[in-house]
Structure 1
Amino acid sequence: MLPGLETSRNHCQPLGKEDTVRVQDHRYLIIGGAPKAGTTSLYKWLANHPDVCASSLKETRFFLDEGYPLPSAKRFDGQNLDSYDGFFTHCRNEGDKLRVEATPDYLYSKNALQIAELLPKAKIVFILRDPVDRVVSWYKYARQRGFVSPGMSFEQYVRYQVDNPVTPETPVYMRALEQSRYEKYLEGFKSAFVDRLLVVDFLTLKNNPQHVMSEILLFANISPYEYLKDELKAENVSKNKSETVIGKLYSSLRTRLTYLYYDYPLVYGVLKPVNGILKRVLPIYRDDKYSIDVTDDVRRSIVDYV
């Protein structure tokens, strides 16, 4: 958890009749996993639906385990469920719209199993991707963000994870293999959510997004919606690029401001378009020319591991 981000600003918002509605009274659709499997795209597509009010942050990370190695503004401690509403402050005057968020690492957090009981009207969706393709995507993203050295080949990236079991200190980008053991982590969610859980295949979502969206809207019990082709473009696709020094500074500042003002709609509303402009004009990435050779041995190592 980032220091200095513990105080919510919900008291800055005017009181109205929506404030009498408890957090657990709302309907939610939570995209709970898996990382590098299209969760950003699904979140954006759902956010475009007229019956949806999406969280201020795509990844609230509110129900992650206490020690899970990702930054967050707030986490559930057993007593602060009302704080979850801070990610939906802008939804208070939106009536009974479906609230949507996407934290793909929920799949690996036992804390997130409590959502089924804490939010009785919540449903959860998981997108599962072929493990080999997902590990390749993780490697590309880790290089893009500078998490792994350009000198580490894909084979070395895989071999390191095979030889080094995950510990609480293992960064998420080095958990790609372990976290591809989907059934191991899905079991608890299937028991907790029962018929309030939907599993989606990544390739089907990629190749036939309109069909999958229709299935998800039906599952979420909201009205059908005919998406335009431009509304169903893929988001957050890993590329053969790496962050520049300016890009690293930008990402660090963006993260801090995002978590600082996530529950302050006026400020956050101003920052979002500014962020879009900066992403277009700043030299955030440079080309990182490399090829990924998924040999039969490497592929077998991944398949045998998961």
Structure 2
Amino acid sequence: MKTGKQAVLAVSRTAGRLTAGARLLPSFLVVGAQRCGTTSLYRALAQHPLLLKPVLHKGVHYFDVGYDRGLAWYRAHFPLRAGAAVLAGRYGGRPRAFESSPYYLFHPLAGERIAADLPGVKLVVLVRDPVERACSAHAHELARGFETESHFEYAVELEAGRLAGAEESLRARPYSVHHSHRHHAYLARGRYAEQLDRLEPLLGRERILVLDSHEFFAEPERTYERVLEFLEVPHLGYPVFERHNGRSRPKSLPESVRRRLLDHFEVYDTRLVRWLGGDPSWRR
């Protein structure tokens, strides 16, 4: 038997499907990276009256693990065009629907699907120190029960074997889900330049905004202004900036391990310079 909340969600999804043709599709997506502040940015943007979040939850995960459900299912998650027209009249700007699913950046098929189904869409990407991101991701997956190896260093050693053949498998079976690719890619998800280079020919450099999450948390107003300018949305005041989905920091890595991982990421961090317009904060 469904709980009250599950019943409400089921009714909402059914209603959404029935009215899918009258609903918006996203104008932009926050696509990752995982554990880089995407939830905090999403909640700040959702306070803008012309930026319309999904009806039910933050991340729809259509272009990564839900693509077999079809575009009408995806569209059902977003607000009605009629409501958006009211907002346009009230605030003098075009409302834009959006969502945030951090696996989109890393999934090998998501970029192709986004480019095909959302022509003209813009992408917002956040990056952070990839060593810190890897530690945070391990703690996150461990807490959620998707990781069984409690020692970060050993989980990193297991990664190559866990992810061997994962991308090939996902391309061969496009609607499948690879558990380790989604939950155990501690180093691979921090090689941001690889993922951005895959997206660039699909969408174009001008439709991808890459932000340093350290700078976002240090100066949220400035980052918020950059995002609004990128989206061509009028500035209507600042939201309340809060940090979401944080976890207690794991014990410090031995300096030798941190140095080894920083060396691993150095070539990829160097390739981020053209996306960020300068050195990433963790390399200054």
TM-score past 0.5 threshold:
yes
Unmatched tracts of structure 2, length 5 or more: 1-8, 86-93, 167-177, 269-284
- Cα distance per residue 1:238-269 (max 9 Å; x no partner): 226xxxxxxxxxxxxxxxxxxxxxxxxxxxxx
Q: In structure 2, what is the equivalent of residue 94 of structure 1?
A: 84
- The code of the aligned residue for 1:191 comes to P
Give 1:76's match in structure 2, choosing from 44, 67, 75.
67
CA distance in 2, matches of 1:87, 1:198: 24
Q: Do the aligned residues in 2 keep the contact of 1:30 with 1:101 (CA within 8 Å)?
A: yes
Q: What residue is the counterpart of 1:233 in the other structure?
A: 242
Name the CA distance, whole Å, in 2 between partners of 1:220 and 1:10.
Answer: 29
Match of 2:184 in 1: 174
Q: Distance in 2 between matches of 1:190 and 1:200?
A: 16
Q: What is the distance in 2 between the residues matched to 1:292 and 1:141?
A: 16
Distance 2:57 2:16 in 1: 19
The 1-side partners of 2:196 and 2:117 are apart by: 19
Q: Give a deviation string over 1:49-96, Cα, whole Å, max 9, x none.
A: 0111101321100111x5xxxxxxxx234x932222111146652224
Query: Cα offset for 1:188?
Result: 2.3
Q: Distance in 2 between matches of 1:182 and 1:10?
A: 38
Contact 2:31 2:124 survives alignment (8 Å): yes
Asked if structure 2 preserves the Cα contact closer than 8 Å seen for 1:131 and 1:303, the reply is no
Q: In the TM superposition, what is the alpha-carbon distance from 1:293 to its structure 2 partner? A: 2.5
Q: Is the 8 A contact 1:52 1:97 kept in 2?
A: yes
Distance 1:202 1:176 in 2: 18
Letter in 2 for 1:186: L
State how far apart, in whole Å, the 1-side matches of 2:10 and 2:67 are.
Answer: 12
Q: 2: CA distance between counterparts of 1:111 and 1:103?
A: 11
Computed over aligned residues only, the root mean square deviation of the Cα atoms, in angstroms, reads: 2.9
**When the two structures are superposed, what TM-score results if normalisation uses the length of structure 2?**
0.72
1:212 corresponds, among 199, 215, 223, to 223
SS for the counterpart of 2:43 is: helix
Whether the 8 Å contact between 2:79 and 2:97 is mirrored in structure 1 is no
Q: Match of 2:29, SS?
A: strand
The 1:155/1:60 distance shift into structure 2, 3 A limit, reads same
Structure 2 partner of 1:61: 61
Report 1:243-254 matches (<5 A). Answer: none
Structure 1 gaps, min length 5: 67-74, 241-289
1:72 is aligned to: none
Aligned residues: 234
**What is the CA distance between 1:157 and its match in structure 2?**
2.4
CA contact under 8 A between 1:154 and 1:292: conserved in structure 2?
A: no
Change in Cα spacing, 1:299 to 1:142, as seen in structure 2 (3 Å) is farther
CA distance in 2, matches of 1:60, 1:294: 38
Between the aligned partners of 2:182 and 2:73, the Cα distance in structure 1 is 25
By how many angstroms is 1:162 displaced?
A: 5.0
SS in 2 for 1:170: helix
Deviation of 1:11 (Å): 6.4
**For 2:123 and 2:219, how far apart are their aligned partners in 1?**
21
C-alpha distance in 2 between matches for 1:171 and 1:197: 23
**Inter-CA distance 86–145: structure 2 relative to 1 (3 Å threshold):** same
- Matched residues in 1 for 2:252 and 2:81: separation? 43
Structure 1 residues 188 and 148: CA distance shift in structure 2, 3 A? closer
Structure-1 residue corresponding to 2:214: 203
Scaled by the length of structure 1, the TM-score of the pair is 0.67
The separation in 2 between residues aligned to 1:42 and 1:219, in whole angstroms, is 14
Which residue of the other structure, out of 252, 255, 273, is the alignment partner of 1:292?
Answer: 252
Shift of residue 175 of structure 1?
0.8
Q: Counterpart in 2 of 1:281? A: none
State the shift of 1:221 in Å.
Answer: 1.0
Q: Is 2:124–2:210's contact at 8 Å kept on the other side of the alignment?
A: yes
CA distance in 2, matches of 1:89, 1:232: 24
From 9, 12, 24, the equivalent of 2:14 is 9
Deviation at 1:114, TM superposition (A): 2.8
- Partner amino acid, structure 1, of 2:147: V
Q: How far apart, in 2, do the equivalents of 1:139 and 1:80 lie?
A: 32
For residues 16 and 124 of structure 2, what CA distance do their matches in structure 1 show? 32
- 1:301 to 1:52, Cα distance in 2 relative to 1, 3 A: closer
Deviation at 1:226, TM superposition (A): 2.7
